[in-house]
Structure 1
Amino acid sequence: MINQVTENLKQTSHDLLMMSESEYPFEVVCWKDQAQEPLTNEKLLQLTSHPLETPIELVDLDYFFRNSAEEKEWHNEIQKQDVQKFQTMLKTLKHNLTDIQVYRLGTINIDVYIIGKTASGDLAGISTKVVET
């Protein structure tokens, strides 16, 4: 089950870049048997090897992808194709995971983890980076 979820996420996030002040690819993350307890900030920082004082901001999934997954009138064909890819990735996340949260860890160079629960009790999702100065 988990292999199928991570494989689906790999396929839909492949070749996509998160746009910010720089561009970063997406990576699939999976923590086996970690969904029995709530994902606290402390637990997330431990799982991602961040210092415990790292600031965390929670963001709504659709809000996080608002600039990537919505087609704009001024988009060219390549941008429109990217919007389609982001929409497919969003659907894959929502179809395969429950209780999805977007966690932004740190400031300026921000590590982003989009994590949800799998049906088999694991935590899985994708991560990327955004740069905001």
Structure 2
Amino acid sequence: MTDSIATQLQQASEGLLFGSETDAPFEVIHWQTQEQLTPAKLLQLTEHPPDAPVELRTVDEFLAIATQEEDWHDEEERETVKRFQNLVSVLKQNLSQLQVYRVGNTNIDAYIVGVTPGGGEWAGLSTKLVET
């Protein structure tokens, strides 16, 4: 992965928290693998048990609530929505085959990953969420 992609992802996600029952930051992730990323491969790369539940989502579905501006948002909330919209743009501009993998049921590890230009490497962001 080029340093510029890592830098862009880091800058776009800096200070953003994924809202759930806990607010968690994003971390840049990168895997050098020539293999197709499947749920089983993701579980192996992230050291989850092989039988952990995995749910797939699109980036737009996963970040829908964070990228939707509402009439009742104040200035700070509108700015946060714009930052999430920018984050989605950075992800889509730099990574192909973008997919979100949600691992677990209540304490969920989420991985927003795609293929870097030139292929062969997977990169993106990870975060945690709690859904009870």
In structure 1, list runs of 5 or more residues that go unmatched: none
Residue of structure 1 in register with 2:83 after alignment = 85
**Distance in 2 between residues matched to 1:128 and 1:87, nearest whole Å:** 17
Amino acid at match of 1:117: V
SS across alignment from 2:66: coil
Match of 2:26 in 1: 26
* Ranges in structure 2 where 5+ consecutive residues have no aligned partner: none
**Identical pairs, percent:** 47
| 2:97 aligned residue | 99
2:17 counterpart residue number: 17
> Shift of the alpha carbon at 1:37?
2.4
Distance 1:40 1:93 in 2: 19
- The answer on 1:128 being equivalent to 2:99 is no
Task: Provide the TM-score with structure 1 as the length reference.
Answer: 0.95
1:70-121 CA-to-partner distances (Å, cap 9, x unmatched) read 1011101110000010011000000000000000000111000000000132
Q: Given residue 130 of structure 2, which amino acid in structure 1 is its aligned partner?
A: V
Number of aligned pairs? 131
What is the alpha-carbon distance in structure 2 between the residues aligned to residue 69 and residue 40 of structure 1?
Answer: 27
Equivalent residues of 1:2, 1:122 under 8 A apart: no
Q: Does 1:59 align with 2:60?
A: no
The 2-side partners of 1:99 and 1:52 are apart by 23
| RMSD of aligned alpha carbons | 0.9
Between 1:9-18 and 1:41-50, the stretch displaced more is 41-50
User: 4+ residue runs of structure 1 moved beyond 6 angstroms?
Assistant: none
TM-score, length of structure 2 as denominator length:
0.96
Query: Following TM superposition, by how much is the alpha carbon of 1:22 offset from its aligned partner in structure 2, in angstroms?
Result: 1.1
CA contact (8 A) 2:39 2:101 kept: no
